[in-house]
A and B are shown apart, each in its own frame.
Chain A
């Protein structure tokens, strides 16, 4: 799938989203939460890029910043060749239909006082000049596409199960024929027995409509299933990005190694033999990250240089990006030391 003709649909360069911290009587800005702090990656047309990492590492902020739900504090974002990083919200409006979001909590993201039909139609009202009949037909098509019975069009969200509510959210996201969808933990709030239904639906829709996904999740097993490539975040930065097979079979960054080793293996015999890397301590605050490498306070392979100089995020093998001194081609250490 990812050959030389692969075309980036989304290009994120050095993206920064710092939230100001105000304190004192005069509410002066005294610092910033560096939720996303210099993130660079492409999302290739037609692929699913998985974005993984533990809670608070900046996944949601990254997804929302790319869709310009925030005014970003640095970097550039180009979607389909158009630079949108510095655009005003007014200029963004005509571009909004092409980029949509599916949220984690279908309960909270759907207006409880609107019928399903009205929820799915709302983006059509806002962004198109379709007639009432055309809109009704489109809503019907969308309900079919996501596997919702048209007979339920006049019901309210509370009458639906969690899985069905997520289908409503997906139908709404699809209404304007988007090219790019950020799915922010779309299955995290669902019963395990329902998650596969929604994931299979997302895969079907991707194929049918040629969609490109940024799939944000802390569920590494599910990302292994759905993603084409995977980016791993830690404390506001992408530490590793690789094609799915390579990442899971042979993680390079010490944090990716620890993260994957901590995922419980649903097989008792494997669970006993598997080597676990137990990380000590807690993640530092994004308002006060360490100097040097962000992972240096917990890294099992830490070296002297790590607390002094920030490692460069660079391509260390074709298609594999890592930010770690063990892999720096012009650095001090050799690449194999990263095996620690």
Chain B
């Protein structure tokens, strides 16, 4: 599969959940292989996954999507150190870790994943968000530039001055 994708010497490779159905030891083999190829051929890789662990191991930059839109974008270290969108923050704390301190209880993201429908006229995460303000129900937040190649689509993340 990977060989077919590489046959025409691509500049960009889109890998859509390439290891999701695989076991961790096989996943580790594939990730090592992909890193190798990426560095040797100097191509760009877009790796689509729901696994934050895989992202931490392979990505330079990360885009987080929710309800069909980009809610946060940052360099990988920055995203994990300083997540600004409430969805990203919730996602990072709801998943138990394989090492380090062990939470006595998992943090829950309340509610259900969104159902995609018409163009949103409000923030898609507002019903599950623990810092939502009235404005979140009236407007769909654009991506606010937070500096350092980091942006987030959240009125609150933008900072209290603009939260109005």
Contact = CB atoms under 8 A, between A and B. Distances in A.
Interface stretch (A60-68, A121-129, A263-271, A304-312): A263-271
Contacts of A263: 24, 53, 98
Contact of B53 (A199, A218, A271): A271
A196 B97 CA distance: 13
Contact of B99 (A218, A222, A265, A269): A265
Contact of B108 (A197, A221, A261, A264): A197
Residue with the greatest number of chain A CB neighbours at <10 A, chosen from B55, B77, B98, B109 = B98
Given A192-B94, A193-B91, A54 B53 contact: no
Residue with the greatest number of chain B CB neighbours at <10 A, chosen from A163, A196, A218 = A196
B80 interface: yes
A248 B99 CA distance: 7
A264 B56 contact: yes
Residue with the greatest number of chain A CB neighbours at <10 A, chosen from B77, B92, B99 = B99
Interface string A249-291: 0000000001111111111111100001011000000000000
A208 interface: no
B56 A193 contact: no
Contact of A224 (B52, B91, B96, B128): B96
Interface in B69-119: 76-77, 80, 90-92, 94-99, 102-103, 105-109, 112-113
A186 to B, nearest CB: 14
Residue with the greatest number of chain A CB neighbours at <10 A, chosen from B25, B55, B109 = B25
Given A161-B112, A163-B112, A248-B99, A268 B80 contact: yes
A195 interface: yes
A225 interface: yes
Given A224-B96, A260-B98, A266 B53 contact: yes
Q: Helix, strand, loop or mixed for chain A's interface? A: helix
B25 A54 contact: yes
Contacts of B76: 268
Q: How large is the interface on A (under 10, 10 to 19, 20 to 34, 35 or more residues)?
A: 35 or more
Given A262-B27, A264-B51, A271 B96 contact: no
B14 interface: no
B145 interface: no
Contact of B54 (A163, A191, A258, A264): A264
16 contacts: A191-B113, A192-B94, A196-B106, A196-B108, A221-B53, A221-B96, A222-B96, A259-B25, A265-B56, A266-B52, A268-B57, A268-B77, A268-B80, A276-B28, A278-B28, A279-B29
Interface of A: 54-55, 161, 163, 191-197, 199-200, 203, 218, 220-222, 224-225, 248, 258-271, 276, 278-279
